[in-house]
Chains A and B, each alone.
Chain A
């Protein structure tokens, strides 16, 4: 039964989590303030959260509530005004920017709403690309690419350019691409926003299977009720604050 948590209760839950399970992400008092020309916008307002290995968590909230900003802070793409993000014991915002890029490449997988794939590369090359950047050997790249394309159900579209794939297929390649680097978790900002309901369901099934079978951690934002339904943890954000954190 979901409970609306006040500060203290929530804090306790977190401590409990921490002591029992190994959390891979620790978020402490995370805040992002945009200095607009007239008013400053507090896009993320003092969020404390932690995520465990193998979570399948949805960040929900109305448009403008701060979901994208939160995921960007978490993914090391946007610098917080204050607070910290600790991934596997590493305070990522204390890293030098060059180190942060490498950290991102090796630890975090991204699926964006669009512009996920390099248009001039085939599906298979897109998946291989990050492993290339990581300097993985050719044999490993070859094997892993095929496995991943298989697991997103696109073993037959290895050599298609993104333009020749449907929106749903492109997002599945994006999931395979995000997994290629063997990240600790995957952040997906509204991955289904541009998809029809059938493709949405298909993509979610694939993500769910990867989560169940291979214990891949997914944190995704959405405002689609059907997507929320599949999540095993739902974090509701309003005005940059966590107002609801429900596990099921």
Chain B
């Protein structure tokens, strides 16, 4: 019955309660949506890094990532990759030769990371082949094809079928060069990536470098679902204990920091919203308690003890907060749900975001835990907001309150 009194009390001053509830609704809705938005943005960034750059797991010679020395290679790569393909949930393995060197066009030259790949294998670990905006992925050019990013193409002022010269040091430290023709231009919306990564065929690379047969610098593994990453990583480690086997969070730790930082920022954001609401709620409830001095005095006179008076005010505050909170969480959730499948275009600010590697189209990422946690935080806010007003209510002296002047 105290529950029902508390609930009905909210609606005694409809205008005031509606104002408070609306404020809470708007605040929570904005908090939930923003969280889902930035979460989606971060998730997309991570997904893209996995899809276009790192894939799930990579294998290197233990020295390679430090030194980038071409002699720190993995011997017998074909045999290893054959064994890895047997591990359950592995959907693709690709071996790469990686050299940091120069590419030059008629206009200018640029420092790049040259990656020699088996196109048919590479297609199963990264989705670059689907990101071609001009030309085709290793098709149409028979001799020495190269795939470069749009950003680099603009810089070198080259187009599909243009000729570029790749210069590098071979295994004997001799400078050697090869003429390549652009077969495809890709665009991942990540300028930093597009500007430095160029792809040639494994065989062309091996020939240029006089690279040992069947060797590679980097072996990239894709699994059917990111959740299998650790499991597969363990199996691979058992297979090749002498090599370095890293998963995507270890390969790009900034991605992990990104999600962690994002979570912290969003929590702070929601807490700031709730803090602002807290004072509004306290203020409202103090007014309520002040207005009902006589009524609370009467309730105490007829047998409501302090605990019950206290809980009545706490309940009323929690109901008030929760009403706004639930509407806010649901509306914020609904909006976020919609934008999970309908992209929000940031094209207005495209340059800035793309420079940082973010997609110009953001799909929100709504998690149930966000909605539950926010609701719990709203309840907590309600309880905290109620403490002082409820304490004030207890200070009532029934004899004093009931005196009619």
Contact = CB atoms under 8 A, between A and B. Distances in A.
A49 B402 CA distance: 24
B interface, by DSSP: helix, strand, loop or mixed?
helix
Contacts of A134: 303
A105 interface: yes
Contacts of B404: 113-114
B355 to A, nearest CB: 59
Contact of B302 (A72, A78, A110, A121): A110
A132 B301 contact: no
A197 to B, nearest CB: 20
Interface residues of A, number: 32
Contact of A118 (B5, B303, B308): B5
Interface string A110-135: 10111110111100010011101110
Interface residues of B, number: 25
A95 interface: no
Interface in B260-300: 294-295, 297-300
Contacts of A78: 399
B18 interface: no
A177 to B, nearest CB: 7
B368 interface: no
Contact of A120 (B12, B303, B398, B402): B12
A114 B306 CA distance: 22
A133 B308 contact: yes
A121 B8 CA distance: 8
Given A112-B298, A120-B12, A105 B402 contact: no
Interface stretch (A96-104, A150-158, A225-233): A96-104
A77 interface: yes
B52 interface: no
Nearest to B305: A101
A68 interface: yes
Interface of B: 1, 4-5, 8-9, 11-12, 294-295, 297-306, 308, 398-399, 402-404
Rank and list the top 8 A-B pairs by shortest CB-CB distance, nearest first: A105-B303, A120-B8, A78-B399, A77-B399, A115-B294, A72-B399, A132-B1, A101-B305
